[in-house]
Amino acid sequence: MDYQFRINKVKEKVKKNNLDGFLITSENNVRYLSGFFGKGSGSWLIVTEGQQYLLTDSRFTEQANKQAPNYKKIIWKRPYIKHFSNLIKEIKLKKLGFESNHISYQVFLKINKEIPKVELIPVFRWVEEMRVVKSKEEIDLIKRAASISDKAFSIIISEIEFGMKERDIANKLDFILRDLGADKESFDTIIASGIMSSMPHATASNKVINDDDMVKMDFGSVVDGYHSDMTRMVVVGKPTNKQKNIFDIVLEAQIKALNAVRPEVKCKDLDKIARDIITEKGYGEYFLHGLGHGVGLDIHESPTLTKNSEEILKESMIITIEPGIYIPDFGGVRIEDLVLVTEDGYEILSITEKRLYEI
């Protein structure tokens, strides 16, 4: 990763906005700008026009030295806010930008009390905006994560049996993902069967998989911090006509929206393509969420593909296309692909076949 390039982009923003420095407190934004990823470390970055600082505690000193060579290391001392404030005074910052969406009001008040002469300027999503378009290195990592998910599905599909519990399948799938090289799963794996599948984000439970149940499987893997995301549908036994019909409607909506993916397309226009098809078939009220979202260091990040989104697709964005129909007391169907926006179209990264798998 070209961390110096990213640092320089932040420095340009600092200068353009007449700030003396910028405080970064989001764990994933710290990682994006420095390469340091001490999970739960509470580490912060300060970027000024002339220097950049990584504040972390002594447990992560060696790791920080290896992962973030472009940063001057400051080891936290208690009380932390006072120590941070003393550093701000030492480097003589007068106008300090901070991530307003990643710092609590309580912490803000404490900082403001310690350095009342420093003007604290709220900044919104500077780094997140940089993260929307992926570098080649980021794309390669997400492709690796997607490949692991594809392989894991091909294994788990042969192990699902009538009478298993949702939680048993989720546990097996999580193990397979890690065994294939994932650092961890992207989120709590969703295995939702029968009427439970009508809840878009149902968590795997002790519910037993019954004959004729549809099973929604939504899962992903993480490689070096970067996520994948995919949803496929399974049915125990032979699908009913209604199950096949709902699946076919969702698949048609998914494919038509997918085929419209290219740079300069508005996200809301993609959502409309899928939503119109589902609505025309009489199920519009059961499409309960947006068409998709960006994927990267976070499983959900910009852009958002919703009916009100004004965001526009750009080359090298990675998004999901995942329409769904969710009918209470019947079940739900979602089909989700991970997609790279290319120069003149798209590349599907989740290559597992889209069909109603019968087991």
pLDDT tens sequence across 143-186:
999 999 999 999 999 999 889 999 999 999 999 999 999 999 99
**Cα→Cα distances 138→37, 142, 318, Å:** 15, 6, 10
Compute the distance between CA of residue 26 and CA of residue 137 in angstroms, rounded to an integer.
21
Which domains are seen in the chain, by residue range?
Answer: 3-131 (3.40.350.10), 136-358 (3.90.230.10)
**How is the beta sheet containing 221-223 ordered, strand by strand?**
184-185, 221-223, 226-227
Q: According to the model, what pLDDT value does residue 41 have?
A: 85
Spell out the residues 6+ positions from residue 39 whose beta carbon is closer than 8 angstroms to its own: 27
- Cα–Cα distance between 251 and 322 in angstroms, integer? 9
The pLDDT value recorded for residue 246 is 98
Which residue has tokens 């999580």? 174
Q: In this structure, what token pair is assigned to residue 265?
A: 């397309």
pLDDT of residue 97: 98
What global pTM score does this model have?
0.96
Across the strands, what pairs with 45? Answer: 24, 54
Asked if residues 49 and 57 have their Cβ atoms less than 8 Å apart, the reply is no
Q: Which segments of the chain have a pLDDT < 70?
A: none
Q: Is 234 left (phi over 0), alpha (psi -120 to 50) or beta?
A: beta
The H-assigned helical ranges of the chain are 3-16, 27-34, 61-67, 80-90, 105-114, 126-131, 136-156, 166-179, 241-258, 267-280
Show the tokens assigned to 294: 């960006």
Q: How many residues does the chain have?
A: 359
Q: What is the pLDDT of residue 328?
A: 97
